[in-house]
Amino acid sequence: MRIILLLLSIALVSVAEAAEYAVVVARNSPIEALDSERLRDIFLRRRSFEGNIPLVPVNLLGEEAVRTQFESQVLQMNRGQINQYWVTSHFQGIKPPATQASLQSIKTFIERVDGAIGYLPISMVDDGLKVLHEF
Amino acid sequence: MSFKAKTILLLILLSLVPYVVTMTFLGNAYRNDVENRLMEDMGHQLAITIDRLDQSLQALQNDIEFIASLDIMNDVLTGDLDRRIVNLLLLKKDDLALDGDFDVVDASGLVVASTALDSIGSRINGEPFMQVPLFSTFNDDNIGTLRVRYEMSNLTRYFANDDNFRYALLVNGERYPAQMQSADALSVSGVIGLRPEIGIIFEQNRDFAFAVLDSFTRSFLIALAIGTLIISAIAFLAASYILRPILLLSSTARSIYKTHDYSQRVRVDRSDEIGNLASAFNAMIQGMQDLIARLKEEGENRLKLAQEKNRAEMLQTLSNKLSKYLSPQIYESIFSGERDVKLGSSRKKLTIFFSDIVNFTGTTDQMESEDLTALLNQYLREMTDIALRYGATVDKYIGDAIMIFFGDPHSRGVEEDALLCVEMSLSMQRRVRELHREWRAAGYTKPFVIRVGIHTGYCTVGNFGTESRMDYTIVGSAVNLASRIESTAEPGTVYISEDTYLLVREKFASLPVSKVTPKGISQPVQLYKVLMDEAAERVQTLSQDGFQLQYQPELLTAESREQLRLVLEKITRESSS
């Protein structure tokens, strides 16, 4: 277990050093780029539109590295804070983003759902996607 | 049908009809009531079952609505790449033990996820049993449908069917579970509230439903049968009790009819109406017996009377016939009982008369026998009539001769008998003369002329012959003498013997004619001819104290007659002095 944690921390360090993940939308999306703050608003469901375009943020289910990284780097919140945030928001009628169980399904989701916005390892980005932000 | 059978039947009917009617009515009413109650109960049970099925369906509906609302359904958009929907549906199917499948279809109609894994990726067709739309959790877009393929077994599993109770669903004319509908069953039906197109039927075997009632009915019928037997027996006994005296009456009446024994009686051991009937019957038979006895007695009396009458009539007829053969005096004497019809005789002094037709054979030779018979019969009849008129006893007819006597059976005295006899004879002669004219007028040229002989003397008179054949007649020499006198007499005259003459000379003029000597008598007998009519008138008689003088007046002058009278007076005086 300790070895796994060690390896994991090494990996995180190495990711921090070079951007491994990207926030992506479908290729045909009119959105070209979004900064971290805008991304945070979108993923915390404070903002639903970019311009006239409705946005559908999608999270990777579980505690995969890419989500942890996204939460810490982009949302700048740990899981405890996030959970706290959604408990509060729940009472205000704000529900957390949709989730998908795998990176592949996130990719498919983004490709198929108008306004979908999600994060993926850069390695998975292909012609169908457009990178708005890397982290 | 006999009255007894009718009575028994009537009694049974009277006993059973109200019983049967009441029980049948109550039985029917009770059966209807039981059926109503059973149907009501079944209705309640059906309602409970429907409620349960409703709940089941409602739960299913709720389940799929809940599933449809889950975020996970967003995976429809990714084609359920992570098989999260499939896994969830499989879990749910398992959880619900669903006979059927869940299908999740995306907006384009493609099966994205299904508990029937084979159908994933295929296009769905047909209407599902139940479906809910899927909306994305992020923008409420319709992203597909969650459909339920549903077998009716999901519902029928709630049915605890057995031989007696059966639930069935009726969907589009199909019956679930597939089984024949019982023709004879109590049945209630309804529809499932959530799915009105699903009909539900609840049936109960009628035999089972009414088993208790049928058992009761059977017991009732057995009781009824036993009751009927008992009632029949009682009815039989009652009818026998009621009818026994009547049957006894009937048999007694028949016995009386057959045996004619009217002494038979019916035993009366009751004081009711039938007892009264029996008493009345006995009284009637007693009356009949008395009546018959009386009738019998009367009948016998009448028969006796009739027999006697017959006998009397017969005797009368017989005697009337006999009277033709007997002289009325003899006849009356015999039939009045004055004289016994027995052999026997007595001596009497009688006046005997004989007559016959002069030269009868010569006279009648030339005649036809019919004419002769008619003439003879007329003659005899006329003579007989005259004889009877004078009270004579016609003894017999001897061919054309007639034998008559006076003095028996009735005598007016010897002298009177002789007078009557002579007078009768003269009448006969006169009548014969009258008949001459008639016969001549009738064409008979040679009329009968008769002669008569009369004698008065002692005869033996009585019944002569044997016990079986006897003849009432007279015998004796006087009879022979009378006959002799007759044969001596001139035609058309009446000759009398001296004995007679002495008796009648006062009345009848007679002339002495000749003497005859009968056989066995030594002295000749002087005969007299009785003068008739003009001849008699021509003779005058002078009688004076023992003398009598007859003379013909035309031969004497008045002077001569006076002298004759004086002579007679003188003779009388001399003789008396």
pLDDT tens, residue by residue, B471-496: 778 888 888 889 889 988 888 889 99
pLDDT of residue A13: 46
Q: Cβ separation of B75 and A101 shorter than 8 Å?
A: yes
Residues in chain A: 135
Residue entry with tokens 């010569």: B362
Task: At B19, give phi and psi (nearest 5°).
Answer: -60, -55
pLDDT in tens, B148-159: 998 888 888 888
pLDDT of residue B103: 93
Q: Within this chain, do residues B569 and B506 fall inside the same structural domain, yes or no?
A: no
In a domain, B194, yes or no: yes
Q: How far is CA B259 from CA B152, B216, B218, B264, in A?
A: 95, 59, 56, 10
Q: Within this chain, do residues B146 and B110 fall inside the same structural domain, yes or no?
A: yes
Q: Within this chain, do residues B154 and B303 fall inside the same structural domain, yes or no?
A: no
pLDDT in tens, B71-102: 889 899 888 888 999 999 999 999 988 889 99
Lowest-confidence segment of B61-75, B105-119, B563-577 by average pLDDT: B563-577
Q: Which residues contact B540 (CB under 8 A, 6 or more apart)?
A: B550, B551, B552, B553, B561
Q: Which of B78, B137, B138 sits opposite A105 (nearest CB)?
A: B78
Q: Within this chain, do residues B571 and B532 fall inside the same structural domain, yes or no?
A: no
| Euclidean distance between CA atoms B315 and B308, whole angstroms | 10
DSSP class of residue A121 equals E
Whether the predicted interface score ipTM is above 0.90: no
Contacts of A98 in chain B (CB under 8 A): 71, 74, 136-138
Contacts of B75 in chain A (CB under 8 A): 100-101, 105
Q: Within this chain, do residues B411 and B490 fall inside the same structural domain, yes or no?
A: yes
Where does B193-328 show beta strands of DSSP type E? 198-205
pLDDT of residue B458: 92
In a domain, B482, yes or no: yes
Minimum distance, in Å, between the CA of residue B148 and any CA atom of chain A:
25
Fold of the domain spanning A19-134: D-Maltodextrin-Binding Protein; domain 2 (3.40.190)
In a domain, B145, yes or no: yes
Do residues B53 and B192 lie in contact, with contact meaning Cβ atoms separated by under 8 Å? yes
Q: For residue B557, give the amino acid letter.
A: T
Domain boundaries of chain A, sorted by first residue:
19-134
Report the phi/psi class of residue A70: left, alpha or beta, with left for phi > 0 and alpha for psi in -120 to 50. Answer: alpha
DSSP conformation letters of B487-509: HHSPTT-EEEEHHHHHHHTTTS-
pLDDT above 90: residue B253: no
Tokens of B239: 């009818």
Q: Within this chain, do residues B466 and B318 fall inside the same structural domain, yes or no?
A: no
Q: Within this chain, do residues B506 and B566 fall inside the same structural domain, yes or no?
A: no
Total number of domains constituting chain B: 4
Q: Cβ separation of B79 and A108 shorter than 8 Å?
A: yes
| Euclidean distance between CA atoms B67 and B87, whole angstroms | 12
Reported as a pLDDT band with limits 50, 70 and 90, residue A15 is very low
State mean pLDDT over B331-346: 68
Contacts of B79 in chain A (CB under 8 A): 108
* Domain assignment of residue B319, given as a range: 262-325
| Euclidean distance between CA atoms B488 and B504, whole angstroms | 20
Do residues A47 and A117 lie in contact, with contact meaning Cβ atoms separated by under 8 Å? no
Q: Within this chain, do residues B491 and B561 fall inside the same structural domain, yes or no?
A: no
Report the phi/psi class of residue B105: left, alpha or beta, with left for phi > 0 and alpha for psi in -120 to 50. Answer: beta
Q: Within this chain, do residues B486 and B356 fall inside the same structural domain, yes or no?
A: yes
pLDDT in tens, B439-455: 888 777 777 789 999 99
Do residues B354 and B478 lie in contact, with contact meaning Cβ atoms separated by under 8 Å? no
In a domain, B205, yes or no: yes
Q: Which of A98, A112, A115 sits opposite B137 (nearest CB)?
A: A98
Per DSSP, the three-state class of B79 is coil
State mean pLDDT over B119-148: 88
Contacts of A56 in chain B (CB under 8 A): 136, 138-139
Q: Within this chain, do residues B385 and B307 fall inside the same structural domain, yes or no?
A: no
